[in-house]
Structure 1
Amino acid sequence: MTETLRGGVIGAGVFGGYHARQYARLPGVTLSAVLDSHPERAAQVAVPLGGRAFHELEAFLDAVDVVTLASPATFHAEQALAVLAAGKPVYIEKPIAVSVAEAEKVRAAAAKQGLVVACGHQERVVFRAMGLLDVPEQPVLLEALRHGPPSDRSRDVSAILDLMVHDIDLALAITTAEPVTAEGEGRLGASGVWDQARAEVSFDSGLTALFDVSRVAGARKRTMRVVYPSGEVEIDFVARTFRNTTPFALNPDFADTPAAADPLGASVEAFLQAVRGEAPRPVVTAEDAIRALDLAIAVEQALEDAA
């Protein structure tokens, strides 16, 4: 591995641009290449940041040391396997894949090659900054709401894999319990995938997690309420504030920390540190991402069963 890593991004959409800018600004890495099926879009992202545009995967992989996948989710597994086969560590935007079987292939390929795989559930960075990942109690109730207005982004997957999977990952991050049942109901959009959904997940500890997502809402709203035996925490992710009645010393000024101010940057930086051997793992590993995907797909199945 070269001293300065050459970063590459697959996908020149909005998130591809975000990731390209991280590689261009972080120390020890440069933005070398952007790959997209539309070369002009790749050039619009890459060239202003000093990188090159590519439309062929083989040439792109020759130009990079680490790769971010910011392409549509339905391509994640196929592209990740190609990147790993070329010997490159990979950061995969969520979800890691669209099936657990595909995701397991990615995890197995990375393990065989001894390569780092990270997944873009970067809101764990925010939970770390709050102190929620260090709470010594197990939650008994979690209520998560994530609504947003219509968007052309991520239309290849349901709102469960697009939105709810974030809150599923956060729920899994703050409990050692395992999910045992999932029930839900939802509404299909014009494209035939779930655009709205509500789900109830029961865990073997007695924890109940309630998830509510919509990507056809009139306004953006993202809240979470976590109830512990000793109190509760109510979070407004949009306002970046929370109310805490537990005895645990959570950080009320978390939004001012560098990590919470730029969770994507902190997540990408942790990925690069893991690649260099400076950290034992990225923020979210392939194993973490597969657990979230597995439960998200269980919720999808519950919606299908209830339809």
Structure 2
Amino acid sequence: MVESLRGGVIGAGVFGGYHARQYARLDGVVLSAVLDPHPERAAQVALPLGGRAFNDLGAFLDAVDVVTIASPAVHHAPQALAAIGAGKAVYVEKPLAVTLADAAAIRQAAEGRGLIVACGHQERVVSRAMGLLDIPEQPIRLEALRHGPPSDRSRDVSSVLDLMIHDIDLALALSDAQPTAVTANTAATGIIDTARAEVRFDDGYIASFDVSRQASERRRTMKVVYPSGEVEIDFVARTFRNTTPFALDPAFAETPAGRDPLGASVEAFLDAVRGAAPRPVVTAEEAIAALDVALQVETAAGRA
């Protein structure tokens, strides 16, 4: 009988709790440990799920086989590199890192050790369940809007790395074309909470993005225009309108992946670690591509 993998989570915030519960409920893995600089927070997450609380990284890494990194984004790279150096596969919540050099170092270190790196772009799971990623045409235009009310979460990075990067990842996943030009603007005087950007691709495809962390309500929509029609998605209502000839699943929200995208993403990561799947939902290479465009948006907005 194959022993269960020992899962560990770095970060005992909201997303750390989500990941800890996935390790506690999925087959073939147990929640072994939660690491946080505040031991009482780590204990609050770990103990009810049968895990142990840690505030020492080395001891934590000795207690786990796979690691989820759900700490603030500025800590992703050093923690991921430490885990990989200890021989652990890693699932890193987006963004993979906050610089391209750090993201490339994560990929290189993992490749050198033959370890899996996954990144948490959950909209990939939803889009796959819908069938959007299987449309055989190349898109002509994409318009994405992602607004939410003010929050204390992810204040260490801009709304570009917090919110827009999800839609950038989808824009890249939907097309084989390569981005060639980025323009952006923001009204922010400090950290970017609202931003608009346009990315042009080498085949004429244009993707536009509108994000805000200062909105009065939560809105997440996307319109994708193809030569044969268009798809309009409301990610909050979990509905879509499709005028293309390609079938999409109207019941995608009721599929296992649609009901629990995070669970599907973590499960795919574990399958890749075990060799039961060729790759996680989002690879390090794909996460780096999305980060590259996101950082170009910040530069274009004058916040480099």
TM-score (structure 2 length as normaliser): 0.98
Match of 2:244 in 1: 246
Instruction: Please give the per-residue CA displacement for 1:164-222, whole angstroms capped at 9, x wherever unaligned.
Output: 00000001011000000000101226xx2100000011001101101000001000000
Match of 2:85 in 1: 85
Q: Match of 1:232, SS? A: strand
Match of 1:233 in 2: 231
1:50-129 alignment runs, 5 A limit: 50-129=50-129
Match of 2:279 in 1: 281
Match of 2:43 in 1: 43
Once the two structures are overlaid, the 10-residue window that deviates more, 38-47 or 180-189, is: 180-189
Equivalent of 2:204, from 184, 189, 206? 206
* Deviation, structure 1 residue 119: 0.2
Q: Partners in 1 of 2:88 and 2:185 — Cα distance?
A: 40
- 1:57 alignment partner AA: L
Match of 1:34 in 2: 34
Q: Partners in 2 of 1:248 and 1:303 — Cα distance?
A: 37
- 1:259 alignment partner AA: A
Q: Partners in 2 of 1:187 and 1:267 — Cα distance?
A: 35
RMSD across aligned positions (CA):
1.0
Instruction: Please give the per-residue CA displacement for 1:137-160, whole angstroms capped at 9, x wherever unaligned.
Output: 000000000000000000000000
Match of 1:23 in 2: 23
- 2:267 alignment partner AA: E
Match of 1:266 in 2: 264
Q: Partners in 2 of 1:68 and 1:200 — Cα distance?
A: 32
* Deviation, structure 1 residue 3: 2.1
Q: Partners in 2 of 1:201 and 1:217 — Cα distance?
A: 23
- 1:86 alignment partner AA: A
Q: Partners in 1 of 2:179 and 2:296 — Cα distance?
A: 10
Matched, 1:295 2:293: yes
Q: Partners in 1 of 2:238 and 2:141 — Cα distance?
A: 21
Instruction: Please give the per-residue CA displacement for 1:64-88, whole angstroms capped at 9, x wherever unaligned.
Output: 0000000000000010000000000
Extract unaligned runs of 5+ from structure 1: none
- 1:169 alignment partner AA: D
* Deviation, structure 1 residue 122: 1.5
- 2:193 alignment partner AA: D
- 2:146 alignment partner AA: R
Extract unaligned runs of 5+ from structure 2: none
Q: Partners in 2 of 1:267 and 1:123 — Cα distance?
A: 10
- 1:260 alignment partner AA: G
Instruction: Please give the per-residue CA displacement for 1:237-296, whole angstroms capped at 9, x wherever unaligned.
Output: 000000000000111111110001100000000000000000000000000000000000
Q: Match of 1:279, SS? A: coil
Q: Partners in 2 of 1:167 and 1:300 — Cα distance?
A: 15
Match of 2:222 in 1: 224
- 1:177 alignment partner AA: A
Q: Match of 2:187, SS? A: strand
Q: Partners in 2 of 1:187 and 1:85 — Cα distance?
A: 41
Percent of aligned pairs with the same residue? 74
- 1:39 alignment partner AA: P
Q: Partners in 2 of 1:232 and 1:130 — Cα distance?
A: 14
- 2:204 alignment partner AA: G
Q: Partners in 2 of 1:124 and 1:98 — Cα distance?
A: 21
- 2:295 alignment partner AA: I
TM-score (structure 1 length as normaliser): 0.98
Q: Partners in 1 of 2:40 and 2:264 — Cα distance?
A: 29
Match of 1:3 in 2: 3
1:159-174 alignment runs, 5 A limit: 159-174=159-174
> Which 4+ runs in 1 deviate beyond 2 A?
none
